[in-house]
Chain A
Amino acid sequence: MQLDQTSAVQKKKILWIGLKPLFQNAHVDSQHIESAASAGGLRADLYVIQESTVVLLEESVLQIRKNDTHGRIFVIGDELPILKIQSLINEHQVTQIFDTSVVNMKSIAKQIENRLEDKAIGFAEVELLQESKKQMREFEVLTQDLEKIVAERTRHIELSKLEEDEKLNKARALIKFIKELGLHFSFEEILILLRKELRKFGLIGDPTLIYQLHPELTHFVAFQNGNLTQTESRRAIQLPSQLVPHDVQLGQVLANHFGRPFLRAIAIPIEVKLIQKFGYEKAAALVVVEIGLQETELGSFFDFIIERVQPLSMAIDRLLLENELTKSGFRWEKTFDNLRDPIAITDLEFEVVRANKKFAEKASRKKCYESFANRELPCEGCPMAEALTSGTPSKGQISRNGRLYQVHSYPIRIDHGGRPTNVVNQYVDITQSRELYLRMLQNEKMGAIGMLAGNIAHELNNPLTGLKSLTQILIGSVKKGSQIFNDLKEIEKATERSHSIIKNLLEFSKGSTEQNTKVSMDEIVQKTLPFLKTMLRMHKFDLNLDSKDALVFVEPYMMQQVVFNLVNNSCQAMKDAGTLSLYTGLSEDKNFVELWVRDTGPGVPLELREKIFEPFFTTKRDGMGTGLGLSLSRKIVEGFGGHLKLVDAEGPGAAFLVSLPRVQL
């Protein structure tokens, strides 16, 4: 039987091994095995084997597979044993086996046709599969290569991560070391820190710090029996400037100094640039470590040291400098505080930046005039402004609490040629020298006046003597009670008055150093009056002496000076013509003799009421007054057990009261 051929079947080349091919186009090989074998190079798309015996069947399959390992083989048999079927499919890649006892031929043909329909796909699938397999193999190779690379890379990365971690740890350790260095403020602390660091390497001794500010004095900071000690040596020791792995010479020096052997001392030079710049040009420092490491360990030890030398140097250098600065700062501060004179450094606004203890016990950022003179405005006579304007040292005088200071202002320029930024004020207390000077001046003045007065007195006394004597002779030669007699008597009295004035002048100007005597205040005033007349010329003079019989115990000429000073002050206070009142009398309790001097001038402002008694306080222009008059007068009066007060200053006018203890005859 032959079936209508589907197009799929027609296109295919079919080799039919058996007797009755089901397809027209099939090349029938009726010779069975022989033909199949002879078919040799003949390749078919499809092989169909229909044999009567299993042996023939197998042989045909084997023949086909000799030439075509991939071709599709269909087998049609009758009641084939199951083992045979399995063997054909598994060992010989038979595509399909049909059993005629189960399916009829028509159905077989149909199924083959269907399979052939699939074949187009099937072939493509096979090729694809093959290609895929090939690719798969290539891919596998590639994957393996890649895996190798990845493994290698991973290993590499892992290694470098370890390295990096190690580096990072090293860097962290270094940073920690540097940070800790920054927290340590003594050589001891630094050495303890360094010792802790060095402990990481087993066989390493305690570090020793050696430094010199000058070559002639070497300092050692070392652990001795576990304790840190600081020692010095005046021996000339040359500190090496290079890292020396085994400094025998230094080892000997150390052995001599510490009295114990120093084995294998490594000298690590420390750079001390700061302290060298500070003025110790020959300063040098060294850290010495004893080591017992193997040669192989030395490399990492040196790396470790080299990494730490710089921060260590900086820390030690900083400490050396700090020590020196503290020392010199301390010295300066002590010097500053122990100076005799108050000294203050101020800024341009008078604010005290620094001051010594003499200036103010407690440091406070106040204006200099506030803290020193207790004023609200700059002191009169302060030379600071001038010093700042001129840029050169200036001096002036200020007074504070009754003391006189010569102020020296020195402008300070931080940068060369710039404007002054601060002023150093030195306050020299010249109260005493000024007082002495003025006293001396006063004495000299009085001495000169005394001499002059003496000369004048002599010159006047001579003619006065003649005048008086001759008058007396004439009086004797005229009739008593006559007009001429009376006239001559008046002349004689005038010569006597002149004589007493001259005598008073002489005594007053001598500033006599006589003993205290009992004298009436009225008498003192009267004796002073002749010298006051000139200054009283332009004022009205109101004199009221009412203590004639009351005595005081004073040195008369000094008391005269007091009267003179008070009247002189009051007259000078009155710029225009006014009234000067001078009263004497007893106090209410009659225990004191009082002298009042009152003027009609402007009075004394409240804030000056105590100041006017301070030495050198004066409102008069330069050269007009020494500022000593009132202070001296008060001193004199108090010396006699009395008081001198400004009692009435409300104005108009001021009144001064002298009260002296009254004494009995």
Chain B
Amino acid sequence: MNVLIVDDEPLVRRSLVRAFEIKGHTVYEGADGTEGIKIWNEKQPELVILDVLMPGLSGPQVIAQMDIQKRKQAKVILVSAYTGEYNKGSAKNLGADLFIEKPFADIFKVVEVATDLLGKS
């Protein structure tokens, strides 16, 4: 499956890229929202992992710019270090399918949760 990682923190991108690659997925990465939406349009990934707070476009803004039909065919996970403010409900409100808070307790669990999310559909 094609996975798009959009996060302005290189280490976060790298760890996620490595974790998904280990599991055999194709991973694209964007350093900010603008880059992210560009790759989204080009590659049509099935899974997008989006940081909330980023320079330029924020995670929710990226979602808002996605083509609705294409968006329906993919899963979007928002990640953020701001805990408390986001939960599953607010993730839905922001147009995402899931919210995961940073720092991740275990990176492999994140890959598992994401895969499960795709499997459910």
Residues of A within 8 A of B (CB): 454, 457-458, 461-470, 472-473, 476, 495, 499
Contact = CB atoms under 8 A, between A and B. Distances in A.
Contacts of A458: 53, 81-82
A466 B82 contact: no
B103 A468 contact: yes
B16 interface: yes
Given A454-B82, A458-B81, A465 B103 contact: yes
A95 B9 CA distance: 186
Those 9 A-B pairs whose CB atoms lie nearest each other, nearest first = A466-B11, A469-B15, A461-B81, A465-B103, A469-B107, A462-B9, A470-B15, A466-B12, A465-B102
A457 B14 contact: no
Nearest to A499: B103
B104 A470 contact: no
Contact of B106 (A461, A470, A472): A472
A26 to B, nearest CB: 186
B118 interface: no
B53 A470 contact: no
Nearest to A460: B81
Interface string B1-17: 00000011111111110
Interface size class of B (residues with CB under 8 A): 20 to 34
B108 interface: yes
B107 A464 contact: no
20 contacts: A458-B81, A462-B12, A462-B51, A462-B81, A464-B103, A465-B12, A465-B81, A465-B103, A466-B11, A466-B12, A466-B13, A466-B15, A468-B104, A469-B11, A469-B104, A470-B18, A472-B106, A472-B107, A472-B108, A499-B103
Interface of B: 7-16, 18-19, 22, 51, 53, 81-82, 102-104, 106-108, 110
Given A469-B19, A473-B22, A462 B102 contact: yes
Contacts of A457: 81
Contacts of A463: 9, 11-12
Contacts of A470: 11, 14-15, 18, 107
A457 B82 CA distance: 8
Nearest to A457: B81
B37 to A, nearest CB: 20
A470 B11 CA distance: 7
A11 to B, nearest CB: 177
Which of the listed residues B51, B102, B110 has the most CB atoms from chain A within 10 Å of its own CB? B102
Contacts of A472: 15, 106-108
B9 A465 contact: yes
A471 to B, nearest CB: 8
A472 B15 CA distance: 9
B112 to A, nearest CB: 13
Nearest to A466: B11
Which of the listed residues B8, B22, B107 has the most CB atoms from chain A within 10 Å of its own CB? B107
